[in-house]
Structure 1
């Protein structure tokens, strides 16, 4: 009898251990991250390509979870893309001028897969305005399953550097721009015609502004007058991967905003 009781107790202990191990394994199989976190499931990505007829933008949602994610939309406007220049002026918006229907539609993104939306900023190579632009994409579902909707997790932005067209680097205020130098030291010269003979310039990499200064020329508009200056950026501040962009402009006496910006790529780093 004693031997039987001992066997029963031993069996119960074994069953308890098996149950605990099984529970632990189930906990490990659960997706990591807080319940309902969109960021643990979807990763928004932008792919930007400069072509002869404009800028192709691919707005992508990648599913990094181990299950299918369903995005529900209550209108045909599923995403939007905006492009802003260095003065934060919007130069393109995908949804501008479009009419959207109110209709329910679901997008299913399988585990490890992605869904792509496309748009295009149509500008010819000749009319490209060199400069550093910010591209922002916003995905607009009203429901996500499984999980809860966190709109801030469904936005992404990237920097677009336009090298400009084939025409001479000039506009109504600046012309005959020449520059030389490398690795943080550059000489810039040209001609300008500006109100009261004063203009400004900045140097940035799309994320950081390294220099912003004003310059004076001998004559004010409408006459053209020569200018030259030197740009120096510490070696430690140079980008590891990116383009240093010089932007020439003047501040409008009407509203104080940047006007007639001319952008020139000084050097690309890779």
Structure 2
């Protein structure tokens, strides 16, 4: 009986032993290929999703550069009466302003999609798109969502 238990334990241990894999060593003749005939796998850019921006009133906002000075802005907004404003500034000046509507007003999340064409005044400045809701009381900016364009 002891021999049966001992033999079973040895077989069980032997069956569970992991195999060790050894790295493959390349033949020296393959390492002497002239530089002009080596194959190089081209690098492919990663398929990354566009960056999304959000705050209390805006979500899933993305900005895609269409042309040198043209941008497409998409996202969702939970905006009173479905109207929101935007402004593009460069840290010194307001370059462009406008307003958009979503396809549904608050409390629903309405979708929006629009394009903006803007050009820098100063070469070294950064353009910043700011989405915001205007206050019904005094017209001040509320729930600002700043997005750096370039």
TM-score bin, normalised by smaller chain:
0.5 to 0.7
Q: Which residue of 2 aligns with 1:223?
A: 108
Larger radius of gyration: 2
Deviations 1:75-123 (A, max 9, x none): xxxxxxxxxxxxxxxxxxxxxxxxxxxxxxxxxxxxxxxxxxxxxxxxx
Task: Indicate if the aligned counterparts of 2:52 and 2:62 stay in contact, CA closer than 8 A.
Answer: no
Q: Residues 208 and 183 of structure 1: is their aligned pair in 2 closer, same or farther, counting only changes over 3 Å?
A: farther
2:138 paired with 1:255: yes
Q: Distance in 2 between matches of 1:187 and 1:171?
A: 19
Q: Which residue of 1 aligns with 2:57?
A: 173
Q: Distance in 1 between matches of 2:73 and 2:58?
A: 12
Q: Which residue of 2 aligns with 1:204?
A: 89
Q: Distance in 2 between matches of 1:188 and 1:218?
A: 15
The within-5 A match list for 1:1-270 is 169-181=53-65, 183-234=68-119, 237-267=120-150
Cα deviation, residue 257, structure 1: 0.6
Q: Distance in 2 between matches of 1:222 and 1:172?
A: 12
Task: Indicate if the aligned counterparts of 1:184 and 1:238 stay in contact, CA closer than 8 A.
Answer: no
Q: Distance in 1 between matches of 2:89 and 2:139?
A: 21
Q: Distance in 2 between matches of 1:262 and 1:177?
A: 9
Cα deviation, residue 183, structure 1: 2.7
Deviations 1:192-232 (A, max 9, x none): 01110100001110112111101111211010011011110
Unaligned runs of 5+ in 2: 1-50
Task: Indicate if the aligned counterparts of 1:195 and 1:220 stay in contact, CA closer than 8 A.
Answer: yes
Q: Distance in 1 between matches of 2:127 and 2:68?
A: 10
Task: Indicate if the aligned counterparts of 1:193 and 1:223 stay in contact, CA closer than 8 A.
Answer: yes
After the TM superposition, which segments of 4 or more aligned residues of structure 1 sit over 2 Å from their partners? none
Q: Distance in 2 between matches of 1:223 and 1:201?
A: 20
TM-score, normalising length: structure 2? 0.62
Unaligned runs of 5+ in 1: 1-166
TM-score, normalising length: structure 1? 0.35
Q: Distance in 2 between matches of 1:231 and 1:239?
A: 18
